[in-house]
Structure 1
């Protein structure tokens, strides 16, 4: 029986993209929170919010500072702060900085700051939100600062940037569904670009580039409903149980079975929140024997039973 299951799994009928599945489940939501032309000197400070943020040099160069690092951002560069750490942006390292919220409010009132004198910069800043209740090691696998330089005007990333910029100019508004969707697309493009161009990835991202670990993740994500065991997984990828445990935990930080459990909880959370599936239906989709077992596991993980969770959501509508 074990060999038959393993043989079937070794012959997948289609390619499955683990990163796409993670992105879909975390449901990243993008928006632009600042867009302005600026005259030097200028500077803004941004507090920690635990959400990815990025800054784009549409025109002119500037600096981004986070911790002890000061990065020079050239025209057509993009800098992302994946963990949402406290940082600042300014035309010069020594420039005085105001809270970003103050600068954003001034723009919203039609009285933008930093307009005295010759315009030296045009910048656009975005944020990407997601359900913090969902645990996944993808964001912790990213460095504290990512800089994408030498972006060409015909690059898909910069074409998306220009579409966002044009829509903001057309509508004289940073917030609409087109801009938000394009900002989400831009974040995914930035993420994919970072993975493709960096050989020395860490954590979850390094596992995506290691063939056997990626195969394990493909199996888990494509078939969360299967009754996975270490014996089945190790046989499929041609590893001993001990090697499987060691390599998986070294890369991702948890054992395969813990990862499976947490991923099922993430899927349960999103299906409860964004679908009309019954608890029995969700249990069947993600690999629980019945609704009662799922309910106990969900309460242990999130603190509420599935019914309590959905009732709380109804009150927010």
Structure 2
């Protein structure tokens, strides 16, 4: 491998971009590999682009594009055969690239990502929501990896045609599934972790992000010219979860308290099952209770976002990376 090009999409990330760039540069130095830092700006209104240039990054300006298009523009400008996609609010550990290069050279992984965690000062709901995705084992071999930190060869990336530029969200899952179809070996390591500094600092931000994230299920399902019906499982579960909630509200308004209690309890069952499934990996009862609340809220948000997406309306949010 002649070097690694680190591609970082960005929108209004002046508060995080220096930390992200410095950590990526330090990881390249620790790995002893040539590295270029490419920031693809989506029309920032803060001083992020100037800060990135001062920190030694090459800044490309492409306002108004979806996140996949931003990453593709950065990859097209990259000069090295190793590609690393990094979100602008992610701090990588020193051995990030060392892990990737050694795994790739010994034929252990074509695509690699490190598990993502939150800084200690993040609020409980942001910490719990991030911890739900931590793998149970030291190594996990899924059929797709998130793109908050994603390392792969240019050859593997170009074999897929790159990220789908029409997707508002879910572009990493779409790319990963196509890589899986091509036989790529994808690996997530539980340790070391990267830190997500762009955690949700308020409930308003958490609700907004989840509504936006859930807005591409229908589009993702119909991508690549043939429907992927399995991707409908979660939005259909979310829609079905509305039924006992609406029944509970109707019963409560009608003075039927026993029916309201029964229906309300039924509406929490899917969220409980999801929380048990994810928290079992961490063996933490407090995490189970926290995720139970968050999954109940998310299911209702997901159902609404899916219905809105059928009418081509989704929460608008600039591609941040």
TM-score (norm 2): 0.29
Q: Structure 1 length normalisation: TM-score?
A: 0.30
